[in-house]
């Protein structure tokens, strides 16, 4: 009999002490919300949820109907459980405090409710990314402020994503490796399908949006040029390329078979600090990748060590197979020596 998510989390709580009871309940609530989001996504045109709204989010991006619906599903599911002090989301300008009339807890939940929105209307895999932090001791007797969220990624107590693709899967870490669960849609349960995902240390597959080549900084340009020279080039092997333009889908491929994912900062004003968001995209994905034996940097430093300065701060992201990311790091540090 395969374990389900609850059994996995109870084992983590009781035998390994990696999660507290309230984090376990929080993760089960988030997983339940992801089932509801996946159900809404799967309806597509039949659910009247495709297309865009007139509104824009804090990032200045046009919001898809499903972006807003997914955000509402996560807020409503998590408001009343008693294990959170506040939430933050890509779709909300600022934090969302737990209403006075609900019990509160000492955890903070951050999420990108539906990552890869540009793929929704063309039926390509998308996903939900989430991160759990704890309320700092000094903030536990007062109202939560935005600054209480601004903790380096190594302080996360849990991180994960749901990917809505051919299978609906939940990928989760509580600090003891990375487990994967597949949704049994007949029973409505998340069934444990891998107890410990492991990223191959080497790869010959890179993921980057090549249309941005003219904007890249020199180290990225040199690395990709060397990859494209194949076996005759300095890297001595032929590389393959993938770019799904859904971080969840690209990272899922890397957790499954290795590779290197790159969304580096570049010369465009809007991407000067990077495109992806640190708190609810790069940090949770970096915790997963490191827990699966990979590496995750912004180009020059470990992403999980970055001290955040803003809730919606952007960052360059280069993550995946350890030896390949270390190679990309060398291209960057060689530039500064
Ligand atoms: P581009 C999706 O909008 C996203 O935030 C990530 O999921 C994805 O990796 C990236 O942007 C794709 O960006 O510029 O290739 O469309």
The model's pLDDT over 35-78, given as tens digits with 9 standing for 90+, comes to: 999 999 999 888 877 777 877 777 777 777 899 999 999 999 99
> Reduced to 3 states, what is the DSSP secondary structure of residue 300?
coil
Q: Which residues line ligand 1 (CB under 6 A)?
A: 115-118, 209, 245-247, 263, 275-276
Q: Ligand 1 centre and the CA of 177: distance in Å?
A: 26
Residue 197 to residue 225: CA distance in whole angstroms: 30
Residue 132 to residue 262: CA distance in whole angstroms: 24
Report whether 55 belongs to an annotated binding site.
no
Beta bridge partners of 88: 110
Residue 24 to residue 28: CA distance in whole angstroms: 6
Residue with tokens 């506040």: 86
DSSP state of 266: B
Ligand 1: which residue has its CA nearest to atom 16? 245
Q: Ligand 1 centre and the CA of 141: distance in Å?
A: 39
Of 38-47, 196-205, 252-261, give the lowest mean pLDDT range.
38-47
Report whether 185 belongs to an annotated binding site.
no
Residue 46 to residue 159: CA distance in whole angstroms: 32
Mutation choice for ligand 1 from 59, 128, 247, CB with most ligand atoms inside 8 A: 247
Mean pLDDT, residues 263-291 taken together: 97
| Rg over CA atoms, the chain | 19
Mutation choice for ligand 1 from 246, 282, 285, 319, CB with most ligand atoms inside 8 A: 246
Nearest atom in ligand 1 to 209's CA: 15
Buried b (16+ CB within 10 A) or exposed e, 131-159: bbbbbbeebeeeebeeebbbbbbeebbbb
Please answer whether residues 206 and 239 qualify as being in contact, where contact means their C-beta atoms are separated by less than 8 angstroms.
Answer: yes
Domains of the chain: 5-194 (3.30.540.10), 205-336 (3.40.190.80)
Mean pLDDT, residues 173-181 taken together: 98
| Number of Cβ within a 10 Å radius of residue 270 | 11
For 181, residues 6+ apart whose C-beta sits below 8 A from its C-beta are: 4, 5, 8, 31, 169, 170, 171, 172, 190, 191, 192, 193
Nearest atom in ligand 1 to 263's CA: 9
Mean pLDDT (the chain, rounded): 95
Report whether 51 belongs to an annotated binding site.
no
Residue 112 to residue 92: CA distance in whole angstroms: 10
Residue 281 to residue 56: CA distance in whole angstroms: 19
Mean pLDDT, residues 281-304 taken together: 98
Please answer whether residues 108 and 144 qualify as being in contact, where contact means their C-beta atoms are separated by less than 8 angstroms.
Answer: yes
- Which band of pLDDT confidence, cut at 50, 70 and 90, is reported for residue 260? very high
Nearest atom in ligand 1 to 61's CA: 3
Ligand 1: which residue has its CA nearest to atom 4? 116
Provide the pLDDT for residue 62. 72
Provide the pLDDT for residue 335. 63
Nearest atom in ligand 1 to 276's CA: 5
CA distances from 33 to 92, 168, 170, 250 (A): 18, 13, 11, 22
Which residue, among 165, 72, 85, 92, has the nearest Cα to 125 in the 3D structure? 165
Please answer whether residues 163 and 193 qualify as being in contact, where contact means their C-beta atoms are separated by less than 8 angstroms.
Answer: no
Provide the pLDDT for residue 61. 74
- Which band of pLDDT confidence, cut at 50, 70 and 90, is reported for residue 337? low
Both structure tokens of 221: 């340009």
Q: Ligand 1 centre and the CA of 77: distance in Å?
A: 27
Of 40-44, 59-63, 107-111, 186-190, give the lowest mean pLDDT range.
59-63
């Amino acid at each position: 009999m395969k374990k389900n998510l609850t059994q996995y989390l109870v084992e983590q709580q009781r035998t390994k002490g990696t999660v507290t009871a309230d984090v376990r309940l929080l993760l089960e609530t988030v997983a339940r919300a992801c089932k509801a989001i996946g159900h809404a996504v799967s309806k597509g045109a039949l659910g009247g949820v495709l297309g865009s709204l007139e509104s824009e989010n804090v990032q200045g991006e046009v919001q898809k109907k499903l972006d807003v619906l997914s955000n509402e599903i996560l807020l409503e599911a998590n408001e009343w459980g008693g294990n959170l002090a506040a939430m933050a989301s890509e779709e909300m300008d600022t934090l969302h405090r737990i209403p006075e009339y609900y019990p509160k807890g000492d955890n903070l939940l951050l999420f990108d409710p539906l990552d890869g929105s540009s793929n929704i209307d063309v039926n390509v895999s998308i996903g939900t990314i989430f991160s759990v932090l704890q309320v700092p001791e000094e903030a536990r007797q007062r109202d939560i402020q935005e600054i209480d969220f601004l903790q380096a990624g190594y302080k996360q107590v849990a991180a994960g994503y749901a990917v809505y693709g051919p299978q609906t899967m939940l990928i989760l870490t509580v600090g003891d490796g990375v487990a994967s669960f597949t949704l049994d849609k007949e029973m409505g349960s998340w069934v444990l399908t891998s107890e410990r995902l492991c990223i191959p240390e080497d790869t010959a597959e890179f993921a980057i949006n090549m249309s941005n080549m003219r904007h890249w900084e020199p180290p990225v340009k040199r690395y990709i040029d060397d990859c494209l020279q194949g076996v005759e080039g300095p890297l001595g092997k032929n590389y393959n390329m993938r770019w799904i333009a859904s971080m969840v889908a690209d990272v899922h491929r890397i957790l499954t078979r290795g590779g290197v994912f790159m969304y580096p900062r570049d010369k465009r004003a809007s991407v000067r600090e990077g495109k992806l968001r640190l708190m609810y995209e790069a940090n949770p994905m970096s915790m997963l990748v490191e827990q699966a034996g990979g590496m995750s940097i912004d180009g020059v430093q470990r992403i999980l060590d970055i001290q955040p300065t803003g809730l919606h701060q952007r960052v360059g992201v280069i993550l995946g197979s350890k030896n390949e990311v270390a190679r990309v790091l060398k291209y960057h540090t060689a530039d500064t020596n």
